[in-house]
């Protein structure tokens, strides 16, 4: 039985605010602040628990080993030197698993297997170090080759940021879908992190039918306003595309192209007059989990920040009153992640698969959630002032914390990562 499983990244013990992501407004705004890794991880687990309580299938991925001693060695960076490079090696950014990989479920691919391509994330150093370890972890979680293929990342001449720039439209998750790849054109004030050629390579690697792939340019104004990934301004689920009116370079052309391949498309568009692009990016209204509940109704899991925004909340209430396809709006507290530009949708990688075919150690249930919470509550630092990055004692503590989680979950294969 194929169903959508959300694999959330557990927030790692080095979660910090170093302001590393140019073009990510929240990351820049919180640069230098003291982070709260324990609270951050507990917020993430609470979100997973809430989604399980809605009847959704939930999985998780483990934090990668940080500080990355291999990167520190390669860059010859030690304590006190090159703070940005040091911070990169300490980044907990693998928590945002929407950037871990692009996923094409079995019904879409020529060989009937689910294909995953880890994102190379080359635009930012702190993220570029992720993909080899991510690929290793995905190969453990999705080891059953009858059902899954995990590729290597595409060559680093073309930036790829994974599922954050990929949307799938389908009648039901287990039916063939149309896959929409959104790329940015370089040349603006902020980097365009998804390259068109990377998207096209992923579509070919996944052996998707060309008529079921759409390639759309992101609106350069959206990138300039802080939408460093498409999932900051649009999200899709089954036949619904929920999008800001200024998400794409040619908005009407994008709808036309998708509709030509997927006539059942239902667009829920938020106009600029109702919620400005700036407010959409500030509140992360579109970085929501648009999910199908067991009743068949759709719900939008949004960050708490949406309720704090008068224009966004007014729009949500009007949308609910209008009886459109989205019937519920559910706010969640992921403020620690949000302060680095990572909302509910950034924290999860969607994989349509039969849960029985996935390594069971990566699937969450109540008992496992409690195990993770226990390790986090005892081993994750309560806070990290930025100046503490590089501290050898902290390095020992966070490494031991990750080891404890690996032990508690029996995921010993993840000890031997590449770094």
Query: Applying CB under 6 A, which residues contact ligand SUG?
Result: 17-21, 24, 27, 91, 93, 96, 98-99, 126-127, 164, 228-229, 231-232, 340-342, 346
Question: How far apart are CB 210 and ligand SUG at their closest, in Å?
Answer: 26
Q: From the CB of 18, what's the least distance to ligand SUG, in Å?
A: 4
> Which residues face 218 on adjacent strands?
248
- Nearest CA among 362, 353, 350 for reference residue 410: 362
**Least separation, in Å, of the C-beta of 301 and ligand SUG?**
14
Instruction: For residue 96, count CB atoms less than 10 angstroms from its CB and return exposed for 0-12, middle for 13-18, buried for 19 or more.
Output: buried
List 161, 238, 279, 305, catalytic entry = 161
Nearer to ligand SUG, 97 or 212 (CB): 97
CB 167, min distance to ligand SUG, A: 12
Q: Which of 229, 238, 279, 305 is catalytic?
A: 229
Q: Is 217 a catalytic residue?
A: no
Q: What residues are paired with 166 via a beta bridge?
A: 181
Q: Which is nearer to ligand SUG, 38 or 368 (CB)?
A: 38
- Provide the minimum distance between the beta carbon of 268 and ligand SUG in the complex, in angstroms, as a whole number: 20
Q: Nearer Cβ to ligand SUG, position 8 or 368?
A: 8
Structure letter (DSSP) for residue 414: G
Task: Mention every residue, 6+ apart, whose C-beta is less than 8 A from residue 305.
Answer: 282, 283, 284, 335, 338
Give, to the nearest 10 degrees, the angle between helix 366-379 and helix 392-409.
Answer: 160
Q: Does the active-site annotation cover 161?
A: yes
Q: Least distance to ligand SUG from the beta carbon of 227, Å?
A: 9
Please give the helix or strand (H or E) that residue 257 lies within, else none: helix 251-261
Q: What is the residue-wise DSSP string for 143-172?
A: --TTTEEEPPPPPTTS---GGGGEEEEESS
Total residue count of the chain as it appears in this document:
419
Decide: 306 and 316 in contact? Cβ < 8 Å: yes
**Nearer Cβ to ligand SUG, position 25 or 213?**
25
Q: Provide the greatest CA pair distance for the chain.
A: 58
First-residue to last-residue Cα distance in the chain? 36
User: 134-151: buried (b, 16+ CB within 10 Å) or exposed (e) per residue?
Assistant: bbbbbbbbbeeeebbbbb
The answer to whether the CB of 3 falls within 8 A of the CB of 57 is yes
- Phi then psi for residue 220, to 5 deg, are -55, -30
Residue 27 Cβ, how far from ligand SUG at the closest point, in Å?
Answer: 4
The question of whether 346 is a catalytic residue gets the answer: yes
* Active-site residue set: 161, 229, 346
């Amino acid at each position: 039985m194929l169903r959508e499983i959300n694999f959330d990244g557990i927030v790692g013990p080095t979660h910090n605010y170093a302001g590393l992501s140019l073009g990510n407004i929240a990351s820049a705004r919180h640069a230098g602040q003291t982070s709260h890794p324990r609270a951050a991880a507990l917020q993430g687990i609470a979100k997973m628990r809430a989604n399980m309580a809605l009847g959704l299938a939930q999985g998780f991925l483990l934090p990668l080993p940080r500080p990355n001693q291999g990167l520190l060695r390669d860059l010859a960076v030690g304590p006190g030197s090159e703070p940005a490079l040091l911070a990169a090696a300490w980044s907990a950014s693998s928590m945002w698993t929407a950037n871990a990989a692009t996923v094409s479920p079995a019904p879409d691919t020529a060989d009937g297997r689910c294909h995953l391509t880890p994102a190379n994330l080359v635009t930012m150093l702190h993220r570029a170090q992720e993909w080899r370890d991510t690929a290793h972890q995905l190969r453990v979680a999705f080891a059953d080759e009858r059902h899954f293929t995990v590729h290597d990342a595409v060559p680093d001449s073309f930036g790829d940021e994974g599922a954050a720039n990929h949307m799938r439209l389908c009648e039901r998750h287990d039916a063939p879908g149309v896959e929409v790849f959104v790329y940015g054109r370089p040349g603006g004030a902020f980097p365009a992190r998804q390259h068109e050629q990377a998207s096209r390579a992923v579509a070919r690697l996944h052996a998707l039918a060309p008529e079921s792939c759409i390639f759309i340019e992101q609106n350069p104004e959206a990138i300039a306003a802080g939408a460093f990934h498409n999932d900051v301004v649009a999200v899709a689920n089954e036949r619904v595309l929920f999008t800001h009116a200024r998400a794409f370079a040619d908005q009407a052309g994008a709808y036309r192209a998708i509709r030509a391949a997927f006539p059942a498309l239902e667009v829920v568009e938020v106009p600029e007059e109702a919620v400005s692009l700036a407010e959409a990016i500030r509140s992360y209204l579109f970085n929501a989990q648009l999910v199908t509940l067991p009743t068949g109704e759709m719900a939008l899991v949004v960050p708490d920040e949406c309720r704090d925004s008068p224009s966004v909340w007014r729009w949500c209430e009007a949308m609910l009153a209008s009886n459109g396809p989205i019937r519920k709006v559910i706010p969640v507290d992921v403020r620690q992640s949000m302060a680095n530009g990572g909302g509910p949708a950034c924290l999860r990688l969607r994989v349509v698969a039969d849960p029985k075919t996935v390594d069971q150690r990566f699937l969450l249930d109540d008992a496992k959630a409690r195990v993770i919470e226990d390790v986090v509550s005892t081993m994750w630092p309560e806070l990290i002032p930025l100046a503490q990055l590089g501290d050898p004692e902290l390095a020992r503590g966070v490494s031991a914390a990750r080891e404890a989680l690996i032990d508690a979950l029996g995921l010993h294969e993840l000890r031997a990562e590449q770094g």
